[in-house]
Structure 1
Amino acid sequence: MVAFPAPIGENMRTFAAVLYREEGMYVAECPEVGTVSRGRTVEEAVANLKEATELYSEEFPPEDGRRPIVTTFEVTEGARA
Structure 2
Amino acid sequence: MKYLILIEKTETGYSAYSPDLPGCISTGSTPAEVEQNMREAIEFHLEGLRLEGLEIPTPSTVSAYIEVAA
Taking structure 1 as the reference length, the TM-score comes to 0.63
Stretches of structure 1 lacking an aligned partner (at least 5 in a row): 1-12, 74-81
Post-superposition offset of 1:71:
4.2
| Bigger Cα Rg | 1
Q: What residue number does 2:19 align with?
A: 31
* Distance in structure 2 (CA, Å) of the matches to 1:62 and 1:70: 21
**Structure with the larger helix share:** 2
Q: Which of these residues, 54, 60, 64, is aligned with residue 67 of structure 1?
A: 60
Tell me which stretches of 4 or more aligned residues in structure 1 moved more than 4 Å.
Answer: none
* Number of residues of Structure 1 aligned to a counterpart in Structure 2: 61
Q: Which of these residues, 35, 53, 59, is aligned with residue 46 of structure 1?
A: 35
Stretches of structure 2 lacking an aligned partner (at least 5 in a row): 50-54
Q: 1:37 touches 1:52 (CA, 8 Å); kept in 2?
A: yes
Q: CA RMSD in A?
A: 1.9
Q: What residue number does 2:3 align with?
A: 15
Taking structure 2 as the reference length, the TM-score comes to 0.71
Structure of higher RCO (CA pairs closer than 8 Å, 6+ residues apart):
2
1:55 aligns with 2:44: yes
Q: Deviations over 1:30-72 (max 9, x none)?
A: 11112110100001001111111101101215233x4113345
* Distance in structure 1 (CA, Å) of the matches to 2:65 and 2:35: 21
Identity %: 22
Q: Please give the secondary structure, in 1, of the residue aligned with 2:17.
A: strand
